[in-house]
């Protein structure tokens, strides 16, 4: 009888300990988001010459996608966008259709990182944008938890005005980085070579200023011609 009672006590103790650890872990994560810069201008993004970070994002099917800069088969271009609700992101995605085929031909992988939740990665885009990228080898991934943005140093807290504006327009931002953490990423473009080093970056805190497809393609070709790090 005493032995059974001890087992019950141990089970309760283990449950309490697990609950405490889970609570502390959640609190630590919440503190991470609370500590984000208060504006895009206050972020300190990684830059050319830095090592690219590892991070995990989600596919459109809500499966984990691990980006590991230590094991890249091809040089990779990361393009972070705010979400399908953002008109400037839609314009950037549409514009990139002029570069993606050439980038692929020259040996680059291209990953788009969106702050939307997985099931909205494509459906939230404007119909014109969806049509313009249809058939292209676009891979858009969800960074709704800002794992990539925080690793890249581009994550920041948003003010209530943006949230109120999205509400007024009826935008679905539940479970996006805005809905979950009241945070976004600064739109950015990074080119990472096969060794995991950032060899080109374009980051501007003004979300209206984006790198054009023509400029990205020119920069990528210049890099590819300077060194033998693109797999053909």
Model confidence over 112-136: pLDDT tens digits? 999 999 888 766 665 666 566 566 6
Q: How many beta carbons lie within 10 A of that of residue 138, not counting itself?
A: 17
Phi, psi for residue 47 in degrees, rounded to 5: -140, 175
pLDDT in tens, 197-226: 999 999 999 999 999 999 999 999 888 776
Paired residues of 183 in beta bridges: 157
E-strand stretches of the chain:
55-58, 64-67, 76-81, 109-114, 140-142, 155-157, 183-185, 188-192, 198-203
pLDDT attached to residue 8: 61
Note if the pTM is more than 0.85. Answer: no
CA dist., res. 205 & res. 37, Å (int):
12
């Amino acid at each position: 009888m005493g032995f059974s009672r001890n087992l019950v006590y141990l089970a309760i103790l283990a449950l309490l300990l697990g609950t405490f650890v889970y609570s502390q872990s959640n609190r630590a994560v919440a503190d991470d988001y609370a500590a984000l810069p208060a504006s895009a201008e206050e972020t300190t993004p990684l830059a050319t010459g830095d090592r690219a970070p590892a991070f995990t994002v989600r596919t459109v099917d809500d499966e984990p996608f691990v980006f590991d800069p230590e094991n890249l088969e091809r040089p990779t271009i990361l393009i972070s966008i705010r979400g399908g609700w953002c008109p400037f992101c839609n314009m950037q995605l549409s514009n990139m259709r002029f570069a993606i085929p050439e980038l692929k031909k020259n040996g680059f992988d291209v990953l788009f990182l969106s702050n939307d939740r997985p099931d909205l990665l494509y459906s939230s885009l404007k119909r014109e944008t969806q049509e313009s990228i249809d058939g292209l080898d676009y891979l858009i991934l969800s960074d709704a938890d800002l794992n990539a943005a925080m690793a890249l140093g581009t994550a920041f807290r948003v003010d209530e005005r943006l949230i109120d504006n999205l509400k007024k327009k009826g935008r679905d931002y539940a479970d996006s980085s805005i809905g979950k953490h009241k945070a976004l990423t600064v739109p950015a473009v990074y080119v990472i070579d096969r060794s995991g080093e950032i060899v080109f970056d374009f980051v501007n805190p003004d979300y209206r200023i984006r790198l054009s497809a023509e400029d990205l393609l020119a920069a990528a070709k210049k890099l590819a011609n300077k060194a033998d790090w693109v797999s053909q």
